[in-house]
Each structure stands twice: as C-alpha cells, then as structure tokens.
Structure 1
Amino acid sequence: MRMKAPVNPNLAILSLAVGTFAIGSGEFAMMGLLPDVARSLGATIPQCGNIVSAYAIGVVIGAPLVSLAVTRLSRKHTLMILMTWFALTNILGTLAHSIWSLEFWRFLAGLGHGTLFGGSALVAASLAPPGKQGRAVGHVFTGLTVANVIGAPFATFAGAYVSWRLSYLIVGAIALLATLMMTLCLPSDAPRRGHSILNELDLFRRRQIWYVLGVVMLGCGGMFCVYTYVSAALLHVTHVPAWSIPLYLSLWGIGMVVGAYAGSIAIDRNPFAATVGAFIWNIVTLSVFALALPWVWPVTGAVFLLGGTIALGPAMQMRLMAVAGEAQTMAASMNHAAFNMANAIGAWVGAIFLASGFGYAWTGWGGAAIAALGLLLFLFATAAEKRDMAREQRTETV
C-alpha cells in the first residue's frame, strides 16, 4: 500500500535517514569504543565483544516479536514509538557500571531495530516512483553509512577523550531529534486494521525467505568479523596512533557511502548481478585487509574498500520485499534481524580467533570464508527458485 504523498518528500526521506543515522551510530560506535569500555568496566576486549553480540541478539529476537506487536498500527506511529524507545534505552544504558548491565541495556536498545529499519525502508519505497524503489531504500541506508563517516568516529573520539557514556547520550539525543522530525515530516497513514498476525506469520512458510535470511547472515557476517575488532587491530598490529582511529572509521564510512550509492543503482538495473558482485567484493577486500594489516598505507586503502561491503544490505532488503507477499513489515524487519545475527556471528568468530592466539589478521581470513559461504548459499537459492518456477510452469501447461 502506497502512503499519501507528503508535502515535501525530501524532508520525509531525510527524517528517515536521520533515524537510521542514530541507529547506525549507536550500533557501530561500540566497535570503536571497545578499548574504552574495556578500561572503564575492567574487562578484556574479547569479553566486551559480547556487548556487541547482546545488541545483535536483541535485534534478532525483537524483529519478529515487535513486527507482530505493531501489525495493525500505522507505519508512522510505529516508527515514532520505536525511535523513542531506542532513544531512551541508549540514554539509560549510560548508567551501566558492569558488562552485564551494559549488555542488558544494549539488548533492550536492539529490540526495535529491525522494525525501525525495515519500516523506514518500506515507507521510503512507498514514496518512490516505479523503477526507483532501490534508490529510495538506498537513501534510507545513507543514514547508516553516514553514521560510519561522522557518528561512529565522533563517538570513538568522545569515548577516547571523555567517556563512552557521553557518546551514547549523544546517540540518544539524535534519536529524539529523529522522532520529532518523523512526527512533523512523515505522511500520515491509516492503521492497518484488516491486517492480521497470521498474514505476517505466513512469511515463514516461504522457503526463499529462509534462504535470503541465511545469505544475509553469512554474507554480512564476514564484514563484522573484521569491523568489530578493527580498532584494536589497527592499534596493536599496524601500530597507528590512537588519535587516528576515528579517521580510519570515517574512511570506512566513506567507503560505505560510496558502496551503498553504487549498489542501490546497480540493484535497479540488475539485482542478481549486483548481489553477486557485492559478494565477490566482500571476499576480495576482506582478504586484502588480512594481507595489508601490518602496513599503514596498504591497510588504509583496505579499510576504505571494506566500506563497499555494505552494498549487500540494500540488495537483500529489496530481495526480501520481492518474495514477502503481504508480509512486508515482517520481511523488512527480518532482514535486519539477519543482518545483526551476522553482527553476532562475525563478533563471535573473530573472538574465537583472537582467544585462540591466531592474531587480528585472521579476522580478515575468517570473514572472507564466511562471505564465500554466503555466496554459495545465494547461488544455490537462486537455482532452487528457478527450478520451482520451471516446475510451476510445467504444472500450468499440463
């Protein structure tokens, strides 16, 4: 269902992008803040990796449950409520004084993430003309990518020189600003009273949905295997100065902006080729990072190239929306559940390598292996879909 056109579509899209900027800043800031959080809470960096996983698990659990809870609400009211929740949980999380309490608040903050991001993508697509939905979804992802250019690096800087708590107070304030902008700028839409929980649950009867979710978990898990520990890797292996870490995170973010933009255009032209290309990019750049890590200039280039791995996100968002039928809210939310499951998988695999003494370069090799598995699953799923379509055509002919 298309939403009624707003007075200013650009402002409506901007309000969504500010929301995804807040979400992205809150999610990705923790990777750069791990050393500061570890010092503050008296823990090791691998232990603090579980804080990243706690948020991701919150997203995975919250995506289906929250989507069911808001089934009959209007999309505008859903986004406003969940953005307020995100703001409050980030602000209250600054009161944590142990790893366990911080994990608890990060878990709560992640509960609405999937429905927030997915709902924003659906609203953006509903406002776009035919043939440009991929670019509209890409604009929503722009907030996430810009968060890696400005939000996460600034949070890392604030954490290094003031406290990680200040970083998350700022994230909460930006989320409240996004709520206000959504209230003023998004078009009103009617509650979906005729839409039932069963409509959304029907999504999980579709085999292709499970394939896509698996592809997202593996395809994006490789990126998080490196990103979770990139600050520590640059400090301890490349031996860059601490003040340069925010700059490296900004460089990664710039690569994400370029990757998301190029990927969204490619999706509108050829979704299959765009997805395969994104996977190949992931595998190659993760391997390059592993090789380049000991040297400053080569690893600097690798960090920029790694930002392009985000192109897989919009591709999978559009794929899920295409195969979801009427369960659009659930599908859009589950994409981000899978994306954050990838976050948890990547952090977990990286922690195993580090705890086993393999070294930070193995986060790159492990990430490349995970991404390669994702590509194989995507090709298998595509072949399975073609076989199913051929079988249906033969049945109709008979």
Structure 2
Amino acid sequence: MPNNAADEPSSTSPSTSSSAPPSASSASSSASRSGPLGHRAILPGILALALGGFAIGTTEFAIMGLLPEAVADLGVDLPAGGILISAYALGVVIGAPLLAAGMARIDRRTSALWLMALFVIGHAASLFAPDFTTMLVARFISGLPHGAYFSAAALAAAHLAGPARRGQAIAWVMAGLSVANLIGVPLATWLGQNSGWRWMFIVTGLFGAATMAAVAWLVPRVPAPPGASVRGELTALRSPALWRAIVVGIIGFAGMFALYTYIAPVFTDVGGMAPQLVPVIMALYGVGMVVGTLVGGALSDRSARRTLQWMLAIVAVALACFSLTAQWWILSLVPLLAAAMAASALVPSLQVLLVDAAPQAPQLSGALNHSALNLANAMGAWVGAAVIQAGLGLQVPAGAGAALAGVGLLLSLILLRSRKS
C-alpha cells in the first residue's frame, strides 16, 4: 500500500464502483473533492452506519462488565462465563465470511439492513433464553451478522467519502463501536446491575432497530461492483498477504481480550474497587477506544502497516504495566487507557491491510477483519480462563495478554515486512 492513500490506484480501492448509478457516483466524486468527512452530504449516512457499530459494540463489550451477574443468574462459574463470551465471538468468526461472501452481489445498504435485522432477532432470543445452553446458542446467533455488517458498512462509507479518505471513513464507522464503550456499555452495565443483566439485550436490540431506520432513511444505494459474485469474493482466500495479516491480527489483538474479558472482577477483586464503579471503568475504556479509532484511521491513510506495528508495541507495554499495577486500581487506569487507545487504533489499519490484500473481493476481505478480531476475542478469553483456572490470579491474564501482543508484533515484523505501506 502506498504511503499516501490519495495516490492509490482507484482499482484497488473498495470505495469505487463503476456500477453506481449517476447520483451515487456523483456523490462519491463530490465527496472526494469536498474536504473533510464532516461534509453535510455524506456525514448523516456515515453516522447512520456508525450507529450499527454502536449497537454491536454495546452487546459485544457490555456482557464483560456484567459477567458476575450473568454467571450468578445462569448458575455457572466465571470461566464458563468466558465461554459465553466466546460463543458470540465464534458466531462472528463463522458468520463474517459466509454472510459477506453470500451478499457479494447485494447493494451495501440492503446488506446492512438485513444483517441488522438478524442482529435484533438474536437479541430477542438472548432476552428469553431460559438456561446457559440456550443462551450460548442465542449469543452465537447474535454474533453471526457482526463482521458482515461492518464490512458492508465500511464499504458503503468508503464509497461515500472517496478513495483519498477511506481510512478515515472506515474509522468513523468503527468509531460507533468505540463510542459504544463510552456510552452504550456503561449504560447497559449500570442498567444490568440495577435492573437485571438481561436488560442489556433490550437496550442493544433497540439500538439495532434504530440503526435499521436510520440506514434506510439516510444511506443512499451503494451497488456492488460489476461482476461481483460469491466465487469472486472467495478468490480473496487465495491471497497469502491476506492470511499473513489475519494471523498478526488474531494473535496481537488477543492480548487485549485476555484482560478485557475479566475486567470487572480484576478491578473489584484484585484492585478493591467498588462494583458500582464498573460502569465508570467501562466508560474510560470507551474514551480510549474513541480516540484510538479516529487516530488510527488517520494514521492508516499514511501507513497501515506501520500503524499496526506501533500499536501492537504500545498494547504489549501497557498490558504488562497493568499486570504490575492491578492491585492499585486507580494507578492501573493509566495503562488501561493506553491499551484501549492502541488496541482500537489497530482496527482500521488491519481493515485497510486486508482489503488491499484482496481488492477484488472487498466484501469478504473486510469481513475477515472481524473474524480475525473475534478469534482474538475467543483466544483472549480462553487464555485468561486458563490462567485463572491454573490458580495464577486475576491479575496475570493481563501479563499473558502482553506476551500475546508481543508475539503479534514480532510476527508483523516478519510477515508484513514486504509491504510498502
């Protein structure tokens, strides 16, 4: 990838489509010349797409803050609660490539609407799940549309913004997930602690329904590229560069989830923090995510590879510092914020690297970003559970996460060194 995204050939950009109707094509061209993403012609549509990220981010992360309440209600132990989180992640891993490839020929707005409808259905099932096993299935269903939605939404936003600022456009969509950690997750956590943890599913389901209304109203049609097909999308799987980036993303990002999965008990049981302050911690993490996502998007337009590598290094150092300061919860807020910012900055850079690795299959390659990140989610939760079950203490998963991030950094230096970006 070139150092300046504006110099990219349009053929490699997921944001261009010669099949777009004149109005959509003109809007994209106008957006490319009009300056910042805040241009009134494109901002409402991008924010509507970001609202879906807000809904997804709320459900993905709020369950971690409510893990003590969830395991008590379902009658399982804390490591089993980690499996509940992994079930959602597994849904993302499986659903992202299958649904993204299957919707290769469908208009991006229509894809986003159908996927968000499935998201709402999954949350209705979670709300009424009577036992742990049923809840696992419901959470798996809820995760199915996650990656494919972000892929469709990112491609639509990149089309609206133009090729010179596709990294920023993608970051704005991903920022919905980050803002969820600032507003949606603390709200759902507070509501769950005070009114029952299943209220999280009501809140996120309503956010999903609101997304459907906003996308239908504010997002123009973004047709799939001419000749798009399931077979064409599957050609992405033959790209060695794609798989190298996926491996780096899985291992590097798993480090963050080794800590974040158990963030509530770490702060309360190890740090001695009052449980009522858990929503505040989630909000602080959200601040770091918002800042990191937007900064990461801007940096990715300069060099996605170098952004990825620098952020992995920061995550490794921050998690190691968190492990050492976990018993003093106020002191541990500093490395937590640093880790949140750096981990979130990884997301748009990885998205750009994956789409560039297989530009002929943008829908699938973009969705695989979320497969990678949620495999990281499942891996991190599993590593954290293994450390806890081994009796090493709740503060040790952060140290294990630092090691994973370090391995991810090393792999990025080896596997991605041939890229020019």
Give CA-to-partner distance per residue, 1:70-120, whole Å, 9 cap, x none: 122111110000001101211221111211111100000111111101111
1:275 aligns with 2:308: yes
Indicate which of 246, 271, 286 corresponds to 1:238.
271
Equivalent in the alignment of 1:346: 380
Q: What amino acid is aligned across from residue 383 of structure 2 in structure 1?
A: V
Q: Distance in 1 between matches of 2:346 and 2:93?
A: 18
1:314 aligns with 2:369: no
Counterpart secondary structure, 1:73: coil
| Contact map agreement 2:293 2:344 (CA 8 A) in 1 | yes
Q: Distance in 2 between matches of 1:104 and 1:185?
A: 33
Equivalent in the alignment of 1:266: 299
Counterpart secondary structure, 2:89: helix
The Cα shift of 1:125 comes to 1.1
User: Gaps (5+ residues) in structure 1?
Assistant: 387-398
1:32 aligns with 2:65: yes
Q: What amino acid is aligned across from residue 25 of structure 1 in structure 2?
A: T
Q: Distance in 1 between matches of 2:329 and 2:228?
A: 55
Pairing of 1:113-132 with structure 2 (within 5 A) = 113-132=146-165
Identity %: 35
Indicate which of 323, 337, 350 corresponds to 2:357.
323
1:210 aligns with 2:243: yes
Task: Pick closer, same or farther for the CA change 1:130–1:201 going to 2, 3 Å.
Answer: closer
Q: Distance in 2 between matches of 1:190 and 1:266?
A: 28
| Contact map agreement 2:45 2:220 (CA 8 A) in 1 | yes
Indicate which of 201, 211, 217 corresponds to 1:184.
217
Equivalent in the alignment of 2:98: 65
Q: Distance in 2 between matches of 1:188 and 1:366?
A: 45
1:91 aligns with 2:129: no
Indicate which of 184, 197, 201 corresponds to 2:234.
201
Pairing of 1:283-302 with structure 2 (within 5 A) = 283-302=316-335
Q: Distance in 1 between matches of 2:417 and 2:224?
A: 39
Give CA-to-partner distance per residue, 1:150-188, whole Å, 9 cap, x none: 111111111111111111111001100000100011111
The Cα shift of 1:381 comes to 1.4
| Contact map agreement 1:48 1:99 (CA 8 A) in 2 | no
Indicate which of 340, 364, 368 corresponds to 1:334.
368
Equivalent in the alignment of 2:415: 381
1:355 aligns with 2:389: yes
Counterpart secondary structure, 1:336: helix
**Normalization by structure 1: what TM-score?**
0.94
The Cα shift of 1:385 comes to 4.9
Q: Distance in 2 between matches of 1:253 and 1:343?
A: 17
The Cα shift of 1:367 comes to 0.3
Give CA-to-partner distance per residue, 1:115-167, whole Å, 9 cap, x none: 10111111111111342111111101110110101111111111111111111
Q: Distance in 1 between matches of 2:222 and 2:298?
A: 28
Q: Distance in 1 between matches of 2:184 and 2:71?
A: 20
Equivalent in the alignment of 1:75: 108
Q: Distance in 1 between matches of 2:207 and 2:304?
A: 33
Equivalent in the alignment of 1:390: none
Counterpart secondary structure, 2:220: coil
Between Structure 1 and Structure 2, which shows a larger proportion of helix residues? 1
The Cα shift of 1:189 comes to 3.1
The Cα shift of 1:377 comes to 1.4
Q: What amino acid is aligned across from residue 284 of structure 1 in structure 2?
A: V
Task: Pick closer, same or farther for the CA change 1:191–1:379 going to 2, 3 Å.
Answer: closer
Q: Distance in 1 between matches of 2:226 and 2:93?
A: 26
The Cα shift of 1:361 comes to 1.4
Q: Distance in 2 between matches of 1:68 and 1:280?
A: 33
Q: What amino acid is aligned across from residue 59 of structure 2 in structure 1?
A: G
Q: Distance in 2 between matches of 1:220 and 1:376?
A: 13
The Cα shift of 1:296 comes to 2.5
Equivalent in the alignment of 2:398: 364
Pairing of 1:38-49 with structure 2 (within 5 A) = 38-49=71-82
Counterpart secondary structure, 1:332: helix
| Contact map agreement 2:159 2:222 (CA 8 A) in 1 | no
Q: Distance in 1 between matches of 2:144 and 2:304?
A: 30
Q: Distance in 2 between matches of 1:252 and 1:160?
A: 18
Indicate which of 189, 200, 219 corresponds to 1:156.
189
1:135 aligns with 2:168: yes
Q: Which moved more, 1:72-81 or 1:188-197?
A: 188-197
- Runs (4+) off by over 6 Å: none
Equivalent in the alignment of 1:227: 260
